[in-house]
Structure 1
């Protein structure tokens, strides 16, 4: 299988980088929460090990996200085999133009049809990550991205599943497509990347905002400004592991057990007690994904 963008990034990093020590486990959370977006298939551990390490620090539910056909199949199968793992399936925004370039619109439609079949399975709670990415895809591939995004939106609404959005350097176009198609009742902006203005738009429309470890980065003040205005009842937390490891362990591989570092940083930005924020996030994630 040709590698998806995220897979290729990870493989390249592992090939060129020296092994690094895993980040130490944080103090456990008093209130259990979920990692709303992780890629266990890209992590150097077994699923059982990842689930156990996360549970030991109070991260008791994992949303495993597929980014292409093979990884979406794996995600659904893995969720069916593990009680505390649920799945999301989709063609990543950068996967859609790759498929269309290789096999035309027919190939893209066939891939989308298989995603639809996977999404109907009970262990699959979300359609995603889908959306638009203007960072890695140029004008030549954006029509395929928009077509795929619209098809994923329609699928989420038809199956009454959550929609998980990847939005990279494409805020205005993502909002426009959602307005034209009508957003699903449960819409999640994964790895929220906007500013306070976009957070305000999401809040007005009742869309969930999931923050990852990059909210802890020194240069991420716009993200912290967005978090500051986001309503607690619409907040989720995620790793997007193995990417975006929170400070002070940036550069080491991310994993679900590191969620408490990000959650505690979020609590500081919000001026909320850690346990209170965890209660919000636990309830929000269950509501967003319907488990």
Structure 2
């Protein structure tokens, strides 16, 4: 069994599935995907992702505000976040983090929000889902400053081995998306080869970043099987073994998730 450890079910284009999210999830289940973590990115979509967990037994969610949604969607307060995290379907915090690629001018706002999410993680004991782009030094510095007793995940990892090793040393897991299959992702593939098996996760980040052989097309949770197959081949591991290992890793990192088995 596989877990799609990071997907945005509320943003999928359902046209090719006759408008049915049920059909999307059934297609993924047919490919061996047994659980889905739907990610919160804003104050606005928190209710939506929570509702998915009430509708589907194999969907859990996170709640948080993405660094690029702070200006458009509003900055969270600690009280709001802690209140949202009480819902039984909310098993993680985020996604949060830093993204200087698109918005260097909001760096201070992003850092304040990241600290707030990390404070909520310390208070609740729930793991944090970290987005980082062009902000290596500040991301690692804030994770070290937080010094959380429980682990989190560096989602859709695209950085170098030095950053991966720093995050691993802090107890974080490393998650790979379809980017690892892209032709120009040689550096990332070397990182993927080095990450310890017990700290590895797979994801789609759907509807974004469809892996080869779906590159350039719409991405769906079932495509996590393609990410896993690529990583298994690249790392010289058996596919079923990698699927089982990444599922075990997910269950260890997200102990409140309702993963079957």
Shared fold (TM-score, shorter chain, > 0.5): yes
Q: 2:93 is matched with which residue?
A: 127
Q: 1:56 is matched with which residue?
A: 30
Task: Give 1:254 shift.
Answer: 0.4
Q: Distance in 1 between matches of 2:45 and 2:13?
A: 15
1:42 to 1, 7, 11: 11
Gaps of 5+ in 1: 1-31, 101-107
SS state of the match for residue 247, structure 1?
A: coil
Task: Give 1:204 shift.
Answer: 2.3
Q: Does 1:242 align with 2:216?
A: no
Q: 2:44 is matched with which residue?
A: 70
Task: Give 1:99 shift.
Answer: 5.1
Q: Cα RMSD between the aligned structures?
A: 1.4
Of 63-72 and 43-52, the range deviating more from structure 2: 43-52
Q: 1:277 is matched with which residue?
A: 242
Task: Give 1:184 shift.
Answer: 4.8
Task: Give 1:134 shift.
Answer: 0.4
2:168 to 203, 216, 219: 203
Q: Does 1:289 align with 2:258?
A: no
Residues 2-151 of structure 1 aligned to structure 2 (within 5 Å): 32-45=1-14, 46-98=20-72, 108-110=75-77, 112-139=78-105, 141-151=106-116
Q: Pick closer, same or farther for the CA change 1:109–1:75 going to 2, 3 Å.
A: closer
Q: Does 1:156 align with 2:121?
A: yes
Q: 1:12 is matched with which residue?
A: none
Of 62-71 and 91-100, the range deviating more from structure 2: 91-100
Tell me the number of residue pairs that the alignment of Structure 1 and Structure 2 aligns: 251
* Partners of 1:198 and 1:226 within 8 A in 2: no
* Partners of 1:51 and 1:60 within 8 A in 2: no
Runs of 4+ aligned structure 1 residues displaced above 3 Å come to 97-100
Q: Distance in 2 between matches of 1:183 and 1:174?
A: 14
* Cα deviation digits, residues 65-112 of structure 1 (max 9, x gap): 011112121001111221000001101011224456xxxxxxx354x5
Q: Pick closer, same or farther for the CA change 1:81–1:99 going to 2, 3 Å.
A: closer
SS state of the match for residue 201, structure 2?
A: strand
Gaps of 5+ in 2: 15-19
Q: 1:6 is matched with which residue?
A: none
Task: Give 1:116 shift.
Answer: 2.5
Q: Distance in 1 between matches of 2:151 and 2:98?
A: 18
Q: Distance in 2 between matches of 1:131 and 1:122?
A: 24
* Cα deviation digits, residues 194-247 of structure 1 (max 9, x gap): 112222222323211110001000000111011111000000000000001001
* Partners of 2:140 and 2:166 within 8 A in 1: no
Q: Distance in 1 between matches of 2:52 and 2:220?
A: 17
Q: 2:17 is matched with which residue?
A: none
Of 47-56 and 62-71, the range deviating more from structure 2: 47-56
Q: Distance in 2 between matches of 1:35 and 1:156?
A: 22
* Partners of 1:91 and 1:115 within 8 A in 2: no
Task: Give 1:186 shift.
Answer: 1.9
What TM-score do you get using the length of structure 2 for normalisation? 0.92
2:222 to 224, 247, 257: 257
Of 243-252 and 200-209, the range deviating more from structure 2: 200-209
